[in-house]
Amino acid sequence: MNKRGWIRIVEAFIALMLITGALLIVINKGYIGKKDISEQVYSVQIAVLREIQLDDDLRASILNIKEDELPVEWKDFENYGLEEVKNKIIERTPEYLYCEGKICKLDVVCSQEEFVERDVYAQSVAIAANLEKYSPRQLKLFCWVRD
């Protein structure tokens, strides 16, 4: 009965499992070659959306869009009198990001039309009413890192 041989086999197996586990944790956390900027992007998006949501003029221009004309794509913002909203988004977006907006009904899934081969960060805010009008909709902001 050679117990020393079995003990060495078990020790080698445990060492191998520890090394494999450590490697899997490091790879899963994304420590290798990838910087996580999601918190920065989401805080920028929330700041821009809240600023638009709280501005009476910008909110009114979004509420003035007729229900049957929704959704409004980013490229069509000027056609619907949303130049100020588009300019606010562009002006408040940092240089390292590119952002596009879309206005949809509140009760539908508001997704981006064009496929972007990057990590896209999306955030939305409800624009429901002002003193004269109740017409709930959402303004959704899609952002990704520029080249």
Q: What is the pLDDT of residue 36?
A: 75
Share of the chain above pLDDT 70, in %: 95
Do residues 115 and 141 share a domain? yes
In the chain, how many domains are there?
A: 2
Q: What is the pLDDT of residue 27?
A: 78
Residue 31 has pLDDT above 60, yes or no: no
Residue numbers of the domain that contains 20:
1-34
Buried b (16+ CB within 10 A) or exposed e, 105-128: eeeeebeeeeeeeeeebbbbbebe
Do residues 86 and 72 share a domain? yes
Query: Which pTM does this prediction carry?
Result: 0.74
Task: Judge contact between 78 and 86, C-beta under 8 A.
Answer: yes
Do residues 80 and 102 share a domain? yes
Token pair 């981006």 is at which residue? 112
